[in-house]
Structure 1
Amino acid sequence: MYGPAPSSRAEPSGHPYSPADPGFACAAVGDILAEHKGLLARIRLCFGVDQETFARDALALIEAYAGYVHLLPATPDNYFRQPGGLLQLGLEVAFYALQGTDAHIFSGQSTITTRRQLEPRWRHATFIGGLCCELHRALASLIVVDADGNEWPAYLTPLATWLAERRVERYFVRWRAQAPEARSLGLFALPHVVQPAVLQNLSAGNTVIVPHLLASVGGLPVYRERNVLDSLVRRSLALVIDRNLKASADRYGSPQFGSHLERYLVDALRRLASVESGWVPNREKSRVWYGTDGLFLLWPQCAADAQALLEADQLPGIPKSVDTVLDLLLAASVAEPRDSSHNTWLIQPPGAKGPLDAIKLTSPAILWSGPEASPRPLTSLLATNLEPMRPMSATAGPPPPPLPRGQLSLLDAAGPDLSTNVSSQPDAPATVSPAVEEAAATLTALKAPMRLNPAVRDALGSIVATLNGDARTAAACTVATGIFVPLAELERRGLQPALAMRALGDLRMLVHADANRPPTTSRDFGGVTTVGLILDPRFVTGLDLATFAIPESPQA
């Protein structure tokens, strides 16, 4: 496309770079973008605007991005490693993220009129988020120099501008050794791509679009509500990288599959630690234990939870094997092995009947890195010195089936009993302990058929789970015939009510008097007349069915 990929190392010679390293030719931005005219045409079609509007709202951003990254590859020897790889990566992620906005609702709690006004801005911001999602690589992963060794000041000016000002004919790339991923650096390069006027337009009539965009580019959490924009970008990035790796296997040999999944696995662990009751550390039946000798996650239970969460996000390429998940965490220095022969540890939490398999994280900050303080560790040691320990890759069995979102608390009731059956009593029959039955009878959680749409299960499960807390803050309530679920709560979780009604209706999970009319109903909810659906109580655990006027038996 643009000639051979440059070498990442310089050979001894009179110049910092040997003539054996061809470097990158200083092509004009217009010539570089001409190589992507097919993809640009698809982006314009997805925007659905005329040429003038597209040139103003999208093409200007693309040209600025191309001017900043020029022909830089995304990685030295993995995905999008060819010259121009970083540009290609940004364009593809932007396209798929923009395409994904058609199936999502932004500003779900706003009125229809407000949403109609904000929807184009959300789409525009999502496109920008996809385009600039890997912008940090130009600052954190590599160094650009000319033939005389002068370094490109990446914080100060776009690469194309620096090349033109210095009349550089070729430039060379040096890759930083073991450079950590620092997505927040993308915020410093963003002003070279996105002009202040664009941000001003995005902020018109709202106060959330720009913060969500910046959080996505910088890899920062949004604590008050779900960042739908970032979810679309993350899913699109995983898709694009997964496709490129599969294609690269045909052209370049064996690529490093899974190396881009570390960020998603760490994000899943943090999300579980922040919202799931079973991940509260050092609590009875918890999956997470924090002692003076470190932070441990029960394994493979935690792997199954993370896999279920990422599969609900519909991210492609998520490994099915817990061994692969652990290998990725070890390679990324997220987890540390017990020794050269054993990846997992044996721990003895307080109250456990026997030692449990676990992995050890390298730092508590991996789970608790936000404004909340890390919990206080136990005053005792958790790791045991029992032998022999079992290598994860040799003897670990398949993980327990992942629980639907919103039901993790039910498996927590099994506690160390189930883990002990796996690790120290391999021949014992798998029985349900009384603790499990008691928990299933008291905790309120969604019990949905496996055929239910994963997005609907995820949203509805999180809504039903709020019934376990304070009734004043619950996202649903019980009525005479079932569970009343406001449509606004579904929209707030990025789910279209029409999709939810169709999926739940097909499985006969809704209660409504007239099958020839829509299943929606209105009632007082929090002092406001609210439109919602009534969920059949037989699809929720922890309820006394005798207190409901149960309709005909559901046929799911």
Structure 2
Amino acid sequence: MGQCGGSFRTAPPRIDAMSKWFNLVLSMLGLQRISSSVPATTATAESMSKGLAHREAIVYPPRDPGLPVEDVTGLFDGQAELLGMLRIHAAESATVFEQRFLGPIRRMAEYVNSLPGSSSDLFAGSGGLVRAGVETAFTCFRASDGRIFTGDLGVEERHLLEGRWRYICFCAGLVYPLGGALASMSVVDSAGRKWAPELESVTTWCREFGAGRMYVSWRFNEPKLGPNPIAATFVLRLIGRENIEWLNQGSPDLVATLVDVVSGLGASKASIAGGLVKDMWSAVAKRESARRHQNYGRLAVGSNVAPYIIDAISEMLKSKWVLNDSILHADSTGAYLEWPRAGIDIIEYCRAQETTGIPSNESALLAMLVSTSMVEAGVEGVALVEIADAAGEVKTAVKITNPGLVLPEGITLESLEKTRPVLLSALRSKDPIAVHEIAEVPREASSPVEKVAKAKLPTLEQVELPIGVSVADEEEDDVTEGRGDELDSACAPVPEEVSERLVPSAAAPSTPSSQSERENVKPRLQEVSKSKPGANAVVEAPEIRYASLLSAEVTDKFGTYEAELLGRLVHIWRTKSNGGRVMRMCEHGAAFDMTLLSDHAKDPVTFLNRLGTEGYLYTAPETPRKMVYNLPRVEGGDKTVMCFILAHHAAKRLAIP
């Protein structure tokens, strides 16, 4: 027993030694050591349980968490060092410094909040735009100390203006980086509502809709910070009324130069302040490029909607769409999505999946797809093309840039070479009937004058007939020679309205009377008819085709009737034959009175729908289905009239104005 007991008592040390040896082997293999202690085992089980619970919450592809809407005070705290140096260089009282410097900076921070300057380049990251504005403003203000802006003026004027010109450099530097960045991004909330930077600050917009986070997508692959015309819409609001009035007390040129500099207009490049701000921004950008995150890793900020859109298309193909039957069509030239039906389905799917950052209407979604190059932009940014579905019905669609991302597994463009063409232009090129398009049948003349005018009116060279001889006297002889019918038609009475269409010639004298005179006339008539083989030819007034006023690029997009009607509108514009109806340029394009269209179009609504399909008709982004708008009869007037508007790019194609 004792021996056995001793053997039992020595067992734990041997187990410990084996455990140590086993742990040593595990550590050599790079694995975690194990322990026989109960507390450690319990802790490991709890951590594994938490890890499994966390793993169940992982969603792929990962969703963009968005950017938080920060408090302006928090944004200020991150710029304390720069603000401290700015206070020293300004050397102003606390009240003046608050009004002229901290006030504009605070309004700028509220305007852009935590928005980044770019996706992965300069000033990328939450709050990047605030940092870019404050740093550029301080750098410009400090550099303005060594510049003389009014060297050609007197002492009093220089004393009045020099300080204001330095302040212009500060204000321009504060706003200078913002325009290009805001023009390159699209900001939406979780419900898909889009922020318009021209109207209000992003902080006010988020507060109005109760949004706690913002979702940024980039309209261009390489967003560029710097001046942009969009900055002119908010620069004066950021600077503030009191400061603008103080600048105007010195000279009205100050504010004008400020707007020119932040807008990037050509006039600003010739000014001293414009050159200084441009040079200092280059220095700031160079400094930021040296310290940006890409030097030690990659950082990308903003929403990439591509994975969500591709996932939505794949799910729609599994449940709702059928390739080359509904919504998604493809041939050897590419893959096409019927639009706007595809956009509506994608938005509904993303909404059901609670995907944030997706626009709430198909027009905004299409703009995002074009800007991210998921959809081909087409000519002058018009993405819509015409296709024909399996039933031959013409539909509008967009062409996917990379078809391999959306086509079902096992299907490639090469495998679709023998299928029917989808693109309408390809179908027309293979259709022998479409190639030789049948001309429209002209309408039947309604009045006797029109009937005669449309008849084939032959002309004969008139000869001097002796007195007493008439063409009617020669009918019997001409019938025997096969020319009686032609002379009948030639001598038929013609109304005065149509007589001008006949070939003019010398007036005929009185008819001949004697028999000898008649006999002398007959050979002369025969000689005229034989020597002039084209004497019986039909002479018609030249046909007016208004479509000839259009370029081939335009006429290829429209049918015969639509091109003719569009050409008539161009003719009316060029000749100013609008009869007092509204026809003028407005901010969105060339506006035409609807009554002017109704005078010439059998179905104005169908014609406008066709213009909209081809992208020629202006439609407001907030009301993409609205085709007509109430416009003042004259610019700035109160009386309005219903008009349709040809967009600027369409007016350029039509060579109007």
TM-score, length-normalised on structure 2? Answer: 0.35
Structure number with greater Rg is 2
Higher relative contact order (CA 8 A, sep 6+): 1
